[in-house]
Amino acid sequence: MLSDIPKKLKDLDQETLDLEILRAGIIAELDAINLYEQMAALAGNEHIRKVLLDIAREEKAHFGEFEALLLKLDKEQVQESVAGKKEVEELTNS
For range 9-25, the mean pLDDT: 88
Domain that holds residue 55: 13-92
In contact, 60 and 33? CB cutoff 8 Å: yes
For range 21-28, the mean pLDDT: 94
Residue 28 falls inside a structural domain = yes
Task: Report the pLDDT value the prediction gives residue 12, as an integer from 0 to 100.
Answer: 84
Residue 18 falls inside a structural domain = yes
The percent helix, strand, coil of the chain (3-state, each to 5) is 85, 0, 15
Task: Report the pLDDT value the prediction gives residue 10, as an integer from 0 to 100.
Answer: 74
* Rounded CA separation 61/67 (Å): 10
* Rounded CA separation 71/62 (Å): 14
Confidence of residue 4 (pLDDT cuts 50, 70, 90): low
Give the count of domains, the chain.
1
Residue 39 falls inside a structural domain = yes
The tens digit of pLDDT for each residue in 34-93 reads 999 999 999 999 999 999 999 999 999 999 999 999 999 999 999 999 999 999 999 998
Question: For residue 26, how many other CB atoms are within 10 A of its CB?
Answer: 19
